[in-house]
Structure 1
Amino acid sequence: MKIRTITTGISLQSPKEIEKIRQAAKFNQQVQIIFEEQGYEVQTTRIATNAWEEYLATSSKTEILSEIQTLEQLCQSLDINFFNIGYANQPESIDIIPDINKSTSIIYCSSKIGDRDSGINFENAFESAKAIKRISEETENGYGNFRFCAWANCQPSIPFFPTAYHIGNTSFAIGLELGDLVMQAFTQARNIQTTEKILQLLLEVELNKIAVIAEKISEKFAIEYRGIDTSLAPSLDKENSIAFAYEILMNGKFGHQGTLAISGMLTRVLKRVSVKICGYSGLMLPVCEDVGLAARANEQTYDITNLLLYSAVCGCGLDTVPIPGDIAIDKIAALLIDMATLAIKLDKPLSARLFPIPGKKAGEMTTFNSPYLVDCKIFTLN
C-alpha cells in the first residue's frame, strides 16, 4: 500500500503570506520522512488553500495572474510541486481560470457548481464548461484540464487534487493508493460476499496503522489531522488496476453486468473502515489514470452514461474522461449538470475532470505526454 498524498491545508488572507506556505512545506517534508521511516512509500506531498477569491480580491485580472505567478515561483523555490488555490464560486472568477492554467504549471484549482443547501448553480456550470473548452484549446493536447475540475457538494479537506480546498486552521489529510489490497482481497475470494469480508479485514488492519502514525504526528506538531480519504486512487500499474480487479469476480469485463454491484460493495467497505475518514472516501474510476479502465474504454465496454451510473453508488464522478475536441460548450455543461444533479440528490461529493482533445474525434486515441496518464480512445457523446 502506497501513500498517494499527504495534503496540508492552510488559510490565506494574502498570497504574500510566505512564512505560512514555508511552514506547510516544511511540515510536509517532516511528515514524509516519518512515514518513510515506517516503511511507507510517499508518492507526493501537497498544499491546498482556502478559495482563492478570498485572498486575491483585486479588481484586475492582470493583478490576479501576476499574484498567482509569483505564488508559483515561491512554491517552486520551496520544492512544492502540487499547490491548489482552492475553488472559484463566481462566474467572473471562473472565467479567469483558463488564464491561470495557461500561465502556471503546478497550480491546481476548481469551480463550485452546486451544493445540497443552494442547489445547482447553472451559471457556474456553464462558465465551467467554457473554461474546460478554453483550456483544451490553449494547452498542449488539452492536458491543462488535468489541473482543473468542476465539483458539486464537495467538503473541505479532500486530499486529492484538483478538488482539494481548505477552511479553518492548518490541518492535514492523507490519500492512499489501495489497489494492491483490493487485488489481494479479490484474488483470495471468488464471490462478492466473501471478497467484501476479506477486504474489510485487510483495510481495518492497514489503515489503522496509518491512522495511529497520523495521530502521533498531529500531537507532535500540534496540527489537526482531518483523516484518511479512503478512496481507491488509481494505478498505472497493470497488476493493481481496479478494472482488472473487478474482472476476477465477474463473468465478463469491466462495464458488463455486475460492475455496478461491485462498485457498491467497494464503496460500502471504504466508508465503514473504523478510522477517521474525510474527502470522497469512495471508489475512483479515472479513465486515463488506470491501465485497465483505459483498455476497456478502448473496447467500449462502458461509456460516460455508465460512469455516471457508477457514481450513484461509488466514487468521485467523471474523472480524466477524454471527449471529442469539437464538443459544444452546451454539451459539456449538460454533463456537469448531470453530475451535479446526482451529487445533490444523493448528498455525496462528485466532481468532473473532462478532457476535450483538440483536433480529435470520438474513437481516436489520445496522445498525452504525461507520467500521470495512459492513452485511450476518446469517448462517444450522443
Structure 2
Amino acid sequence: MKIRTITTGISLTSLKQQERIIQAAQFNQTAKDFLEQQGYKVQTNRIATNSWEEYLHDFSTAEIIGEIKVIDQFCQNLNVNFFSIGYASSPERIAIIPEIIKNSSIVYCSSRIGDSETGINFANVSESAKVIKRIAEETADGYGNFRFCAWANCKPGIPFFPVSYHEGEPAFAIGLECSDLVTKAFKNSNSLQTAEEKLKLAFEEELTKVEAIAQQISDKFGIKYSGIDSSLAPSLDRETSIAFAYEKLGFGKFGHQGTLTISAIITRILKSLSIKTCGYSGLMLPVCEDVGLAQRANEQTYNLTNLLLYSAVCGCGLDTVPIPGDVTIEKLEAILLDLATLAIKLDKPLSARLFPIPGKKAGEMTAFKSPYLVDCQIFKV
C-alpha cells in the first residue's frame, strides 16, 4: 500500500495570500517526510483551496488567467505537484475553465452540476459539456481534460483531484493507493464471504496504522486531520490491477456477471471501517489508470453504461474514460445528466472526467504521453 496523496486544504480571499500557500506546501513536505520515516511511500503532495469564484469574483477573464499563470509557476517553484482552485458554480465562470487549463500546468478545477439540496443545475451541465469538448479540441491530444471534471453532490475535503476543494480552517486528508490489499485478500479466498472478511481485516489493520501516524502529525503541527479517503485508487502495476483482482474470485473477466456484486462488497467494506474516513471512500474504476481495466476495455467486456451501473453501488463515477473526438456536446450533456441524476437519487458523490480524443473514433487506441495513464481502446458513446 502507498500514500497516493497528502492533500492540504486552505481557504483564500486572494491569490496574493502566498504565505498561506507556502505554509501549506511546507506542511505537506513535513508530513511526507514523517510518513516516509514510518516506511510509507508518498507519491504526491497537493493543495486545494475554496472555490476560485470566491477569491477571483471581481476579476475579468484576462485578469483571472493572469492570476492563474502566476500561481501555477509559484506552486511549481514550491514543488507542489497539484494545485486545485476548486469549482465553478455558474455557467459564466465554467466557460472560462478551458482558458485556465490551457494557461497552466498543475492547476486543477471542476464544475458543480448538482447536489441533493438543489437538484440538477441544467445550465451548468450544458456549459460543462461544452467545456469538455473545448478542452479536448484546444489541448494536445485532449489531455487537458485530465485536470478537469464535472461533479454532483461532492462535499469539501476530498483529497483526490480534480474534484478536490476546501472550506473552513486549514486541514489535511490522505488518499491511498491500496489495490494491492484487494489482490492479496481475493487471491486466497474461496468464497465471496471469505473475500469480504479478509479484505475488511486487511483494511482495518493497514489504515489504522496510517491514521495513528496522521493523528501524530495533526497533534504535532496543529493542523486539523480530516481523515483518510479509503477509496481504492489503483496503480499502473499489472500485479495489483483492481480488474484482475476481481477475477481472482472466479466470476470471469471484469465486466461479466458478478462484477456489480463484487463492486458492492468492496464499497461496503470501505464505508464500514472504524477509522475516520472522508471524501469518496468508495471504489474507483478509472479506466486509463489501471492496466487491467484498460485491457478489459480493449476486449469490450464492459462499456460506459456498465460503469454508470457500477457507480450506483461503488465509487466516484466516470473517471478517465476515453471517448470519440467527434462526440457531440448533446451526447456529453446526456452523459453528465445521467451521472448527476444517479448522484442525487442515491445521495452520493459522483464525478465525470471524460477524455474525448481528437481525430479518433470508438475502437481506436489512445496514445497518451503521460506517466499517469495507460492506453486503451476508445469507448463507444
Quickly name the TM-score band, shorter chain normalised: over 0.9
- State the superposition RMSD in angstroms: 0.6
Say which SS state the counterpart of residue 371 (structure 2) adopts.
Answer: coil
Q: What are the residue-to-residue correspondences of 1:97-108 with 2, within 5 Å?
A: 97-108=97-108
Kindly state the Cα deviation for residue 80 of structure 1 after the two structures are TM-superposed.
Answer: 1.1
Structure 2 residue identity aligned to 1:52: W
Matched, 1:135 2:125: no
Query: Deviation of residue 251 (structure 1)?
Result: 2.9
Q: Is the 8 A contact 1:250 1:258 kept in 2?
A: no
Cα displacement string for residues 1-48 of structure 1 (whole angstroms, at most 9, x for unaligned residues): 100000000000000001000000000000000000000000001000
The residue number in structure 2 matching 1:331 is 331
Shift of 1:216: 1.0
Matched residues, number: 381
Q: Please name the residue that 1:5 is paired with.
A: 5
Residue of structure 2 equivalent to 1:274: 274
1:310-346 Cα offsets, whole Å, 9 max, x none, are: 0000010000000000010010011001000000000
Q: Which residue of 1 aligns with 2:41?
A: 41
- Measure the CA separation in 2 of the matches of 1:375 and 1:195: 30
**Corresponding position of 1:109:** 109
Aligned to 1:18: 18
Find the counterpart in structure 1 of residue 156 from structure 2: 156
* Structure 2 SS opposite 1:249: coil
1:252 Cα deviation from its structure 2 partner: 1.2
Equivalent position amino acid for 2:191 in 1: N
Question: What's the secondary structure of 2:248's corresponding residue?
Answer: helix
TM-score by length of 1: 0.99
- Whether 1:215 aligns to 2:210 is no
1:84–1:109 CA contact under 8 A, matched in 2: yes
1-side partners of 2:323 and 2:190: how far apart?
35
- Show CA shifts across 1:247-270 (max 9, x none): 011331000000000000000000
Correspondence 1:132-211 to 2 at 5 A: 132-211=132-211
Write the distance in 2 (CA, Å) between the matches of 1:191 and 1:142.
42
Q: Which moved more, 1:141-150 or 1:183-192?
A: 183-192
Distance between the aligned counterparts of 2:10 and 2:188, measured in 1? Answer: 42
Distance 1:254 1:313 in 2: 15
1:77 Cα shift?
1.6
* Distance in structure 2 (CA, Å) of the matches to 1:325 and 1:192: 40
2:124 corresponds to: 124
2:68 is paired with a residue of what secondary structure?
helix
Q: Distance in 1 between matches of 2:59 and 2:84?
A: 21
Residue 244 (structure 1) shift: 0.2
AA aligned to 1:160 is F
> Partner residue of 2:89?
89
| Alignment correspondent of 1:29 | 29
Residue 379, structure 1, aligned to residue 379, structure 2:
yes
Measured in 1, the distance between the counterparts of 2:250 and 2:107 equals: 40
Contact 1:190–1:248 (CA under 8 A) maintained in structure 2: no
Which structure 2 residues correspond to residues 188-337 of structure 1 after superposition, within 5 A?
188-337=188-337
- Superposed CA deviations along residues 345-373 of structure 1, whole A, max 9, x for unmatched, are 00000000000000000000000000000
User: 296-305 or 76-85, which moves further after superposition?
Assistant: 76-85
Structure-2 residue corresponding to 1:70: 70
Shift of 1:79: 1.2
1:165 partner letter? Y
Instruction: Note if contact 1:58-1:64 (Cα within 8 Å) is conserved in structure 2.
Output: no
Return the offset for 1:59.
3.7
**Which aligned segments of 4 or more residues in structure 1 are displaced greater than 3 angstroms?**
none
Q: Shift of residue 73 of structure 1? A: 1.5
- Which string of whole-angstrom CA distances, capped at 9 and with x for unpartnered residues, describes residues 260-284 of structure 1? 0000000000011110000000000
- 8 Å CA contact 1:159, 1:229 repeated in 2: yes
Unaligned runs of at least 5 residues, structure 2: none
